[in-house]
């Protein structure tokens, strides 16, 4: 049963749809092929950064056609002021040792890159063989250069408040099956 286009109580808060369910499926398929090619023989560890990445994570691991393992990390969100200071705190660490492993960090969105810059340094100290980033979205902010560069990118989005497909505003909208721009009156 396909509910795409069905009106939900939250749809009235969305200004426009940036990526439809079909767009997302096509992006996931393309990224899955890239990852399958690159990690065919290495049994990589895919790490989801909670919470926003879980929806993309569930899709991308099923689009990769080679053996892999999964684990999860959660980091603190200190708000914009603390983010600019680069302070990130690990709330939930990996269950898996990563020494000698190929690591793919899976994120929903890369903005300043501060979160991932910290995480990569932290994970590098544990001696993995490699670390790459698969980011569903990269936010293009005029004048901003991300602190890290993901090897695998789903799509670039403008500097707008995007929600859905895991991304929230005030913990809402994560379960929207598409990516949309939130109406400014919802958060202003």
Interface with ligand PRP (CB under 6 A): 49, 51-53, 77, 83, 107-115, 168
In the complex with ligand PRP, the residue whose CB is nearer, 80 or 188, is 80
Comparing CA positions, the residue from 137, 130, 163 lying closest to residue 28 is: 137
Comparing CA positions, the residue from 109, 104, 163 lying closest to residue 132 is: 104
* Catalytic residue from among 71, 111, 140, 159: 111
- Give least dist CB 60 to ligand PRP, A: 14
In the complex with ligand PRP, the residue whose CB is nearer, 110 or 131, is 110
- Give least dist CB 40 to ligand PRP, A: 28
In the complex with ligand PRP, the residue whose CB is nearer, 51 or 126, is 51
Q: Are strands 14-19 and 179-182 parallel, antiparallel or unpaired?
A: antiparallel
Q: Catalytic annotation on 102? A: no
Q: Which residue is nearest to ligand PRP (CB)?
A: 52
The whole-angstrom separation of Cα 114 and Cα 186 is 26
Which residues are catalytically annotated?
Answer: 111
């Amino acid at each position: 049963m396909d509910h795409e286009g069905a009106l939900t109580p939250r749809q009235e808060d969305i200004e426009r749809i940036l990526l439809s369910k079909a767009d997302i499926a096509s992006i996931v398929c393309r990224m899955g092929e890239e990852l399958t090619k690159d990690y065919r023989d290495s049994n990589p560890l895919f790490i989801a950064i909670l919470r926003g990445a879980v929806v993309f994570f569930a899709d991308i691991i099923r689009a990769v056609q080679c053996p892999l393992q999964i684990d999860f990390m959660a980091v603190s969100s200190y708000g914009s002021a603390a983010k600019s200071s680069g302070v990130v705190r690990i709330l939930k660490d990996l269950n898996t040792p990563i020494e000698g492993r190929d690591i793919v960090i899976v994120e929903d969105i890369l903005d300043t890159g501060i979160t991932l810059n910290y995480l990569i340094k932290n994970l590098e100290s544990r001696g993995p063989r490699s670390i790459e980033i698969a980011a569903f979205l990269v936010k293009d902010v005029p004048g901003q250069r991300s602190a890290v560069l993901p090897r695998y990118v789903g799509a670039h989005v403008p500097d707008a408040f995007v929600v859905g497909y895991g991304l929230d505003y005030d913990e809402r909208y994560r379960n929207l099956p598409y990516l949309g721009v939130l109406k400014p009156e919802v958060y202003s």
